[in-house]
Structure 1
Amino acid sequence: MTAQQSLEHYTWQGVTTRYPEGLPDHVEKTIRHELALIETMKYAPYFLTVFSIVRYARSQAILCQGRGSAANSAVCYVLGITSIDPDTNDLLFERFVSQERDEPPDIDVDFEHERREEVIQWIYKAYGHDKAALCSTVTRYRAKGAIRDVGKALGLPEDLIKALSSGIWSWSETVGESQVRALGLNPKDRRLALTLRLAQQLMGAPRHLGQHPGGFVLTHDRLDHLVPIEPAAMVDRQVIEWDKDDVEALKMMKVDVLAHGMLTCMAKAFALIGAHKHQDIDLATIPQEDAATYAMIRRADTLGTFQIESRAQMSMLPRMKPKTFYDLVIQVAIVRPGPIQGDMVHPYLRRREGKEKVEYPTPELEAVLHKTLGVPLFQESAMKVAMVCAGFTGGEADQLRKSMATFKFTGGVSRFQDKLVSGMIKNGYTKEFAEKTFSQLEGFGSYGFPESHAASFALIAYASNYVKCHFPDVFCAALLNSQPMGFYAPAQIVSDARKHGVEVRSICINRSRWDCTLEEVHGTGRHAVRLGMRLVRGLATADAARIVAARADQPFASVDEMWRRSGVPVASLVELVEADAFLPSLRLERRDALWAIKALRDEPLPLFTAAAEREARAIAEQQEPEVELRQMTDGHNVVEDYGHVGLTLREHPLRFMRADLTKRRIITCAEAMTARDGQWLMAAGLVLVRQRPGSAKGVMFITIEDETGIANIVVWPKLFERSRRVVLGASMMAINGRIQREGEVVHLVAQQLLDLSADLSGLAGRDGEFHPPTGRGDEFAHGSPGSPDSREKAPPGVRARDLFTPDLHIDTLKIKSRNFQ
């Protein structure tokens, strides 16, 4: 049987699974058209390869989904590679494969990010290490890396290099004279000036080869006959010395095996729903067009969900008001630099809100653009406009699409301008309309979004919102178990779940497992989320497993008993104490538990171990006298929670400071977000997320949080440059500005920014400093505001035991914001 015959066999076999009630005629016609083109182009082996990888993943219950242009293929749908039904979606196969393009198709498949390695190792095993390898990527110097490497080479002090690099936001920024002066440095200093000049020259130069995120090269003959293969930094992986562009130029077969955090979250959520809610659902069987889910989306209550959780997406949701799946497809695609630069977002929204009349110059254009109200939002729309209105063939339209993707670098779209404009005029359109259409298409630049790709992402976005809407407890546990991923840190995920009525229980040595779990709330039928030991900073997975195994027969009754039965090192017990894991079941406060641990030695004495085994119970080596320790203040406990778990179930840090803030006329975030349009006010909060998208023309969006909720801040470029150190370095800031309200979208437009990080140092009863928590995305190192200056002499009369060394960071809480560009 040839490859083509095998593909056709599996395709028609898949039809019976996808369409048990019979194949619609137009879908059958599409499948036959695609199979004929695949045969002409001799692509059957490629489709079979991807099909075999997806089939293996499904056999191991690994959640996966194809996306990108492959979602335009009916064959990919019936083979189970993609999830976009050609019966309900108007697909354009030429976006995926065309004779004119004459290059291998590109199928991207997303897998659960925690189980993708299983798929990668299966590929090596199935195809052999001599015929399969990952592409490399050329890592180039960007601003921070260039300053760090040049600074080291020229012998600049480490703290100076850190100060210079921490004031840079984007990859391509340079350090200006004003920033150098703001750091108290002399821009005329010869070595400093040379560092900045050489770093600028290094920008864009290759630094080293890295691994491609998932681009696999698979060959029929030995790959090492063509290109050197080398072991990767990761165990059991190997890479070639060519990058994806080299591979494409040589027309070698490449399969993208990509990692997707939300698929991991969804797989864990479906498992929890099956185990605790006794409902069997997956991506394919989730109830569609659920009214409650769309109502939640319209409220922009989407924290933690896929794709529509960012600031830009959240602010667009109340205006878009999605009610159907196709609305969600548009929502995913509309908040992109392409449509924004192409002047398409506002016309679409105005038409959707009824502020602008929807007009189609001809019925042909209405047929193509009626779903997007006459605005070409998608790459497929642009291709269809060219085909229907200007007489392009499918292949020519695809070339137009490809030149749109690279016009910034090659100016390639302009060669199609005459053909498109003259073709449209010939078909009865005005020259003005034809040129406007062309400029809109050109506006996509390198960001044009395929409709099929948006639909693939919208499927996962809908699924994640459905789970959050109907099973908020499951969603919280699954999302925490899939970290690190997404915009928000565990602190915000837990806070959001509690606002949705979910009970969250603290880490407990007798009840917590490694992952967060669900515990039934007696007599209610609801479940509480028990935080898992994975959140304890520094605790090894193996030690957590030993603790869970040791308590299987009976729970631990004391610290000493836990140490003996589990056999975990004392250092791991200290990490659990610092996370307050002994409080829920043993009722031991942090200091009491730590006192009990101090009495333990590195390993139990053999005599007591033998006695304990004989008596079948733990026997203490010594009787400790009763002591009454001074317990930590509430504020100090909050500092410790953030420092060792990354979140707190106690009071929000700002609640302890509210009285002081009120005296300074600083209002809460909730009051700020409900204020009238144009009102001047001052609000303050912990910095959660900083975002400065490329299409925002230098505008910075910041999300802050206090005990009442979050507030959305807009920082204009001039203020950003004036207050760069506050914007990029503050853990907590106050914003003086004016409220801007458009419908349900509310922003506080900043006029003045104040760094309040020093105010946090008193939170632990003056025991230490407080640096609020945020997410993994922040690239900026925070200093130690409010700490004593190490250059000054210690005040006279201070006794040695009271000396405070700020460099030790005792009792400090560090919060890392998540930064997105």
Structure 2
Amino acid sequence: MYLNCHTYYSLRYGTFSEVALLQLAQENQVAQLALTDINCTSAGLNFVRKAQELDIKPILGIDFRNGVEPCFVCIAKNNHGYLELNDYLSEHLHHKKDFPVRPPKFKNAYVIYPFETVLQHEITNFLEHEFIGISIADLRRLRFSRLIGLKDRLVVQQPVTFRNKRDFNAHRLLRAIDNNTLLSKLCVTEQADPEEKMFPIQNLAAAFSEYPFILENTERFMKACSIHFDFSKGRKPQNLKNYLGSQAEDERLLEKLCEEGLPYRYPEVGEDVRARLEKELDLIKQMGFVSYFLINWDIVSYARSRNFFHVGRGSGANSIVAYLLRITDVDPMELDLYFERFMNLYRANPPDFDIDFSHHDRPIMTQYIFERFEHVALLGTYVTFKWRGMVRELGKVFGLPKDEIDKLCDGNFKDARLDGVSSLVVKYTKLLEGMPNYLSIHAGGILISDKPLHWFSATHLPPKGYPTTHYDMVIAEDVGLYKFDILGQRGLSKIKECITILEEARPDEIAQWDIHDIKRFKNDPKINGLVRTAQCMGCFYVESPAMRMLLKKLQVANYLGLVAASSIIRPGVAKSGMMREYILRHRNPGRAEKLAHPVMLRIMPETYGVMVYQEDVIKVAHHFAGLDLGEADVLRRGMSGKFRSRAEFQRVEEKFISNCREKGYADTLIFEIWNQVASFAGYAFAKGHSASYAVESYQTLFLRAYFPLEYMVAVLNNGGGFYRSEFYIHEARMLGAIIHAPCINNSDARNRIYGKELYLGFMYLKELEVRVVDRILKERTVNGSYISLEDFLDRVLISIEQASILIRIDAFRFTGTNKHELLWKAHLYLTKNVKIDHPKLFRPKQQDFQIPKLHTTDLEQAFTQLELLGFCLCSPYDLLVEPPKNSTGCKDLERYLNRHIDIYGYIVTVKNTKTHKGKRMQFATLVDQQGAVFDTVLFPPVAAVYPFQGRGIYRFYGKVVSEFGFLSIEVVKMQKQDYVQDPRYADMKTSAKVFGKSKNPLAN
């Protein structure tokens, strides 16, 4: 009898989930009900899925409103009706159109006009599919209304928005947030009626007892409605079924492509390769995933035709078919990748391909997919209310001052000390926490469906301009829609730009190499030497301090070692305590045999009986605990957190434990293994995924090894990486580059390299307007280099403020004139008060002004660079008030092993973390006086007394320690060193004395 029910996907209006709605229906003996969220269909699919489990008949519809003003409620008779409603809603959402008084005539959907709406708009002449909704509150007015005569058109429309008073309070807060107003000023018309509740079915029938025909109409109405989506274990994929015309054609094409790929990937095709290929092809055909592979092949083939770089990641990298189709560059035979992680008969969902493109190329690839295929949409996701956001919103709703809101956001308070209003803010955050706030876009998920996407939900149109579903990836997979992940990645942009630079500057040298020839890279001693010594600055994810430390501890010197390290570095392995154990077993032959459980060692000999990859969860669950492969995969997926609360995951967890007990394992062993699985699986990589990352790492390491300066320029031009730009510039200097500040004739917007001369781009001058840079470069391209400041000012339309930035950074140093003199000239030639809005037709004769002789010190220039670039191009050690009292550096660490050292370091990065007891500690990476990098650790007692005070140089006193051969300093005490006073605001003579000519390799 309930035809108008809302969930919290009626965004900033509803107050509970679709599951809670169904549970509420059960409590009130309601056997069928309609979900009709306001202008949203996010909950529809999961509502149908859960209703089947709870033996409730689901009906789907939409509550169409302009703002909060009700227009009409539409109910789908069947799936085709749901498609009609989703088409209609999507058209209005995409074009931001208001809904009219009456909708179009739907073929497979009913329309219910609220009683008040009919009266207000004087709607008459109802069509066969149109009805009038009567709520309990409307009954007192119905008997006096002309509508009482339309007996066959009246149905029960008792809205359901709340369960209790608590929900109503949450609703009012949501409405205040949505209207950006104080709760005390929230208009009643912006709120729902407090009586929009669900009553036991007997009570509802009793309320309408005087009008039995209304109940009969409603019952007949609901019986005529039926909606079905297949959520069964054996459901068929809903993705595009056939890439060509039929399944047979698709299968022939897939076989043909694999045969064509064999000579490229395997010059000598062995029986093992043939057997693996046949096994995979049989299973792909059997499970109906042929078109899924062909669509991915189509996408990467188009990318190659455009010379776009891509990396195929995810569990699909475990597939030889994917390798032959060049979706991935990972050889599953070489790595013995676990086939059952990729696909098995128990696993309903297909292998997962994450295809990374350059962040420049990804938009083009997305557009191609939308144009190439018919039924395409981006995958949605929900942004939920989180603590800080809720506190800010509720603080405004309750009228708290900004400074008090800021204090609450930090979370450093005691409930007992809060005033009344602040207490209310904290109290009501618990009401809203986890509710969806607004719809957003999945990071890279694209759906390509056999049916129109509106068969499953409406779509909205975010700023990206592509239709986006109202549901997320979990629900999509439940109904058989499997996403194609098209992701943007700056690492590939770096590779592409570096090769572009080389093709222009050193074409003969780069022509000798193929960036996809990974087998050649794997065996290159120069590249493996960089891995062994952890000289990986700028090289994808292996450049971080943690990864550099792990490479040394594991003594990694080849591709296979890097594959393992890629997954070992993930939080789960460290959290379970198995990272340290893995290192110990790796470095101490025989330890695994002594300590590992025989079953664990047998199923994971390559990793010494330690779980490292996602596949290991499946192996342990299958071989150690006796779960079938489908249950093992539920366990793996459940550990990611997306399914952890689901009943199927709970059942598998219980079976894992009971099976182990039946096998006779002791509880201590069972729970030790279970805890490792629980802490590890959600953060681990599939082995194929780790291998894909290692492939890209080797591509970057190749460029770093053979073309280091060009590669560093590409890194800088694509946003750097783990570190600030300053340190990639420092690395380029250490690799032999001569660094120049931006130059009006040699610099572009981005960095440029001429042999070993690296000219910084105008991009670092944050206050320099983009349009000014465009004018400078365009004029230079058309009419040649600038010969003087006067020539520049004549040719480029520029304000004195913008010209001053260029002069101060010494971009006109080619003139040989001191920049202070140039600033005088610029001020004389340009006037602040007269705005020139067009270029000069004729160059005026410039008067030759007599300007006093001025001079600039190197120290002054360093501070100007600090201000304009964010870093200086000299050594930061040259800016100290007191020069370092020693020259101790990274080179001396081994000599000081287990002894205390006094050393200076310039901060590269600081990582704040907490111990198991919640105490703060820090890891810091620094550059010494010779330009080498070293690492320090500050344990809680030291971190509490000696906090880092921002960027700069620190003097450390601490003990040099070694863990698995990796040297670091356990800090005992430290002190930040003072820079000299900025000479631009101090006595120039005094400052100049401090600044001597540096012999430090950090300086030019």
Query: TM-score scaled to structure 2, two decimals?
Result: 0.65
Partner of 1:651: 875
Among 243, 254, 258, the alignment partner of 2:487 is: 258
In structure 2, C-alpha distance between the alignment counterparts of 1:586 and 1:162, rounded to whole Å: 52
Q: What residue number does 1:318 align with?
A: 552
Q: Pick one of 567, 571, 579 that aligns with 1:345.
A: 579
Deviation at residue 454 of structure 1 after TM alignment = 0.5
How far is 1:84 from its partner?
Answer: 0.8
1 CA distance for matches of 2:420 and 2:279?
68
Aligned residue number for residue 701 of structure 1: 923
Distance 1:268 1:681, change over 3 A: same
Deviations 1:371-420 (A, max 9, x none): 22333322223433554566654434433433444496566663243465
1:139 to 370, 383, 389: 383
- Give the corresponding residue for 1:805: none
C-alpha displacement of 1:300: 2.1
Q: Deviations over 1:528-562 (max 9, x none)?
A: 33322333324455543432332235310122322
Q: Indicate the residue corresponding to 1:815 in structure 2.
A: none
| Match of residue 642, structure 1, among 841, 866, 879 | 866
Select 1:414's aligned residue among 653, 669, 672. 653
**Offset at residue 754 of structure 1 (A):** 5.8
Residues 659 and 132 of structure 1: CA distance in aligned 2, closer, same or farther (over 3 Å) = same
Deviation at 1:56, TM superposition (A): 1.6
Are 2:348 and 1:102 aligned? yes
Residue 576 (structure 1) aligned with residue 806 (structure 2): yes
Q: Residue 496 in 1 paired to residue 496 in 2?
A: no
Residue of structure 1 in register with 2:441 after alignment:
211
1:581 alignment partner, SS class: coil
Q: Tell me whether 1:244 sits opposite 2:473 in the alignment.
A: yes
Deviation at residue 431 of structure 1 after TM alignment = 8.9
The alpha-carbon deviation at position 687 of structure 1 amounts to 4.1
Q: Which residue of 1 aligns with 2:460?
A: 230
Please tell me whether the aligned partners of residues 146 and 199 of structure 1 are also in contact (alpha carbons under 8 angstroms): yes
Which of 400, 407, 412 is the matching residue for 1:175? 412
Aligned residue runs from structure 1 range 73-472, under 5 A: 73-127=319-373, 131-153=375-397, 174-176=411-413, 204-224=434-454, 226-234=456-464, 236-277=465-506, 278=508, 279-280=510-511, 281-286=513-518, 287-354=521-588, 356-359=590-593, 368-387=603-622, 393-406=628-641, 414-418=653-657, 421=660, 437-472=673-708
Deviation at 1:80, TM superposition (A): 1.2
Deviations 1:576-622, CA, capped at 9 Å, x for gaps: 33443222x2334443443333222566699x94444xxxxxx4443
Higher CA-based Rg: 2
Cα distance in 1 for partners of 2:983, 2:927 equals 19
Offset, 1:469: 2.1
Describe the superposition over 1:91-125 as per-residue Cα deviations: whole angstroms up to 9, x where unpaired: 22321333322134432111111221111122222
1:14–1:80: 8 Å Cα contact kept in structure 2? no
Structure 1 position 762 matched with structure 2 position 981: yes
Shift of 1:162: 5.7
Unaligned segments of structure 1, at least 5 residues: 169-173, 181-185, 521-526, 613-618, 769-821
Q: Is 339-348 or 735-744 further displaced after alignment?
A: 735-744
| Cα distance in 1 between the residues matched to 2:803 and 2:376 | 44
The one-letter code of the counterpart of 2:937 is V
Letter in 2 for 1:548: L
Question: What displacement does 1:462 show?
Answer: 1.7
Letter in 2 for 1:328: L
Question: Aligned partner of 2:879: which letter?
Answer: F
Secondary structure at 1:242 match in 2 = coil
| Cα distance per residue 1:199-232 (max 9 Å; x no partner) | 6776545433332221112223433454332221
Between the aligned partners of 2:732 and 2:324, the Cα distance in structure 1 is 38
* 1:428-452 deviation line (CA, Å, top 9, x unaligned): x999877755554444242232111
Using the alignment, how far apart are the partners of 1:103 and 1:323 within structure 2? Answer: 37
Q: Does 1:513 align with 2:748?
A: yes
Mapped partners of 2:957, 2:413: distance in 1: 27
Q: 1:688 to 1:189 in 2, by over 3 A?
A: farther
Give, as a single letter, the amino acid of the residue that structure 2 aligns with 1:250.
V
Residues 395 and 634 of structure 1, relative CA distance in 2, 3 Å threshold: same
Q: Deviations over 1:265-288 (max 9, x none)?
A: 111122223333322334312532
* Deviation (angstroms), 1:322: 1.3
Pairing of 1:528-567 with structure 2 (within 5 A): 528-552=757-781, 553-567=783-797
Say whether the 8 Å CA contact 1:341–1:695 is kept in structure 2. Answer: no
Residues 204 and 629 of structure 1: CA distance in aligned 2, closer, same or farther (over 3 Å): farther
Contact 2:741 2:809 in 1 (8 A): no
- Mean Cα deviation higher: 28-37 or 54-63: 28-37
Distance 1:719 1:362, change over 3 A: closer
Q: Matched residue of 1:83: which SS?
A: coil
Given that 1:473 and 1:528 are in contact with CA atoms closer than 8 Å, whether structure 2 keeps it comes out as no
94-103 vs 681-690, which moves further: 681-690
Give the superposition deviation at 1:239: 2.6
**Equivalent in the alignment of 2:276:** 30
Report the Cα distance in structure 2 between the residues aligned to 1:207 and 1:736, rounded to whole angstroms: 50
2:303 counterpart of 1:57: yes
In the alignment, which of 944, 966, 970 is matched to residue 745 of structure 1? 966
Shift of the 227–551 alpha-carbon distance from structure 1 to 2, 3 Å rule, reads same
Name the CA shift for 1:194/1:331 in 2 (closer, same or farther; >3 Å): same
Which 10-residue stretch deviates more, 315-324 or 144-153? 144-153
Deviations 1:111-155 (A, max 9, x none): 111221111122222236xx3232233223445444544555555
- Structure 2 stretches of 5 or more lacking a match? 1-244, 988-1004
Which residue identity does 2:591 align to in structure 1? K
Per the alignment, residue 848 of structure 2 pairs with: 623
Distance 1:95 1:747, change over 3 A: same
CA 1:193/1:640 → structure 2, altered by over 3 Å: closer, same or farther? farther
Change in CA separation of 1:408 and 1:253 when aligned onto 2, cut-off 3 Å: closer
Cα distance, 1:395–1:196 mapped onto 2, change above 3 Å: closer
**Percent identical:** 24
Other structure's SS at 1:557 match: coil
Paired letter, 1:337: P
CA distance in 2, matches of 1:541, 1:508: 16
The 1:678–1:207 alpha-carbon spacing in structure 2 relative to 1, beyond 3 Å, is farther
User: In the alignment, residue 326 of structure 1 is paired with which amino acid?
Assistant: L
CA displacement at 1:567 relative to structure 2: 4.0
**Structure 1 386/162 Cα, relative in aligned 2: closer, same or farther at 3 Å?**
closer
Say which SS state the counterpart of residue 604 (structure 2) adopts: helix
- TM-score computed with the length of structure 1 as normaliser: 0.78
CA distance in 1, matches of 2:658, 2:837: 88
**Cα distance in 1, alignment partners of residues 652 and 881 from structure 2:** 57
TM-superposed deviation, 1:734: 5.9
Question: Would the alpha carbon gap of residues 348 and 637 (structure 1) be closer, same or farther in structure 2, given more than 3 Å must change?
Answer: same
Q: Is the 8 A contact 1:688 1:705 kept in 2?
A: yes
Range moving further from structure 2, 254-263 or 138-147:
138-147
Query: Is residue 477 from structure 1 mapped to residue 732 from structure 2 by the alignment?
Result: no
Shift of 1:196: 6.0
Change (3 A) 1:301 1:605: closer
Residues 120 and 270 of structure 1: CA distance in aligned 2, closer, same or farther (over 3 Å): same
Q: Matches of 1:187 and 1:684 in 2, distance apart?
A: 44
